[in-house]
Amino acid sequence: MGLEEEVFMRSKYVAYAALLAIIVLFFTGCDALIANVFKDANLGQPSADKIKELDTAALIQQAGITSGAVSDTFIQTVIGDEATKKQVLETLQGTVDTGTPAEAQAAQALILDIKLADIGADTVMDNLNAAVGQLATLANSNEELKPQDIINALLPAELANNPANLASFIDNLAELGTDVDTLAQKIDANNGTVADGLDIATIAQTAALVKFVKIVEPAIGYSTGEAIAKAVEDLENDPNADVTKYFAAQPDIASLADNTTLQTLFDAAGLSALLDKMKSGS
């Protein structure tokens, strides 16, 4: 074999090896490849200082709230700086108070997203997306859908395993009831028409979670968050534990169907049939 031919053969083996390495990567998954080098180097990211100076129109545009996909990066930048968060919430609230119904809806929806992320509920909403199929299947089956089923499916470990954090989270979530009510009022004021591009179905889903927390009646001496946190803690130790002592009454899930805020949001999303199902208990 001549030198030239030998070099050719070696090169051919290198080519085959490179191809083989990539094929192996294809068939074994590529978890490590799903990363963004610019983000890791903090390049091309939004600036808290610049966001602070934006008016509502620019905030809505840069957050992507009316494009159907709100920017997590933008929201995290806002909540990452206390002064920026305060200023942005004030700017948006001004539009909620004085803007047209369509502008006010977008501003209120952005306020809700910022507050959700600020209390760590964005993780819970991701869990809800993953669990919604299981919950729907349970709801459609003859099995009883228990509040504990829902809570267990939604809570990340750092909340489920830390009663104090969980109690605080639940109480903060309940406080968002005013924000979802305001959004529903703005939609009603616009004759039920939703501002272009708002993902109203996801907002309705969020509102249902907030309103679910609101109908939980804690026993005397507990906040809603404390009652749920205690119940979750007991159930983790013993799935058959009696947790009724933490609650004044069993949550009336069917009553959610009569909630005017949820009716507005689910109607606007074209999902009123879901509320009807909830009311009929099916």
Partner 1 sequence: MLLIMAVLAATAQTTLQFTSPMPKDARSMGMGGAFRVFSQGYSSFFGNPAGFAGMSSLTLMDMSTWAYLAPTSENLGRVQSIVSGSASDSDILSWAGDWLAKNNGLGAGMSMGAGWVGAKGISLGVNLVTDELAYGNSLLGAKLLSTTQANGVLGLAYPIHLGPVWLKIGVDGRVFYRVQSKPTTGWGFNTILTDFLNNTFSASSLTLLGGYGFAADAGIILGLGPVMLGFTARDFGMEFKVGDFTAQDVIDKQFSALPLSGTTAAALTPSYTAGLGIRLSENGMFEPSVYAEVDNPISLVSSTDILSDVLNSLHAGAQLRLLRFVTVRGGLNKGWYSLGAGIDLAFVEIDAAIFTEELGLYAGDKGRSGISVQAAIRFGR
Q: Letter for the amino acid at 272?
A: S
From the number of C-beta atoms within 10 Å of its C-beta (0-12, 13-18, 19+), residue 153 rates as: middle
Q: Letter for the amino acid at 273?
A: A
Q: Tokens in use for 94? A: 């001004």
Distance CA 111, CA 104 (A): 10
65 within 8 A of 106, measured Cβ to Cβ? yes
Q: Which residue has the tokens 């199929």?
A: 133
Min dist CB 73 to partner 1, Å, is: 4
Of 271, 181, 252, whose CA–CA distance to 212 is shortest? 252
Letters for 202-241 (x = contact with partner 1 by CB under 8 A, - = none) are xxxx------------------------------------
CA 29 to chain centre: 27
Count of residues touching partner 1 (by CB under 8 A): 60
Letters for 70-89 (x = contact with partner 1 by CB under 8 A, - = none) are xxxxx---------------
Which residue stretch of 15-23, 82-90, 175-183, 230-238 sits at the interface with partner 1 (rule: CB under 8 A)?
Answer: 15-23
Answer for which of 114, 159, 200, 216 binds partner 1 (CB under 8 A) is 200
Letters for 43-72 (x = contact with partner 1 by CB under 8 A, - = none) are xxxx---x-----------x-x---xxxxx
Is residue 2 at the binding interface for partner 1, with CB under 8 A as the rule? no
Answer for which of 2, 5, 28, 90 binds partner 1 (CB under 8 A) is 28
Residue 153 vs residues 51, 110, 252: alpha-carbon distances, Å:
35, 26, 19
- Interface with partner 1 by CB under 8 A: which residues? 8, 11-12, 14-16, 18-19, 22-23, 25-26, 28-31, 33-40, 43-46, 50, 62, 64, 68-74, 125-126, 128-134, 136-138, 199-205, 269-271
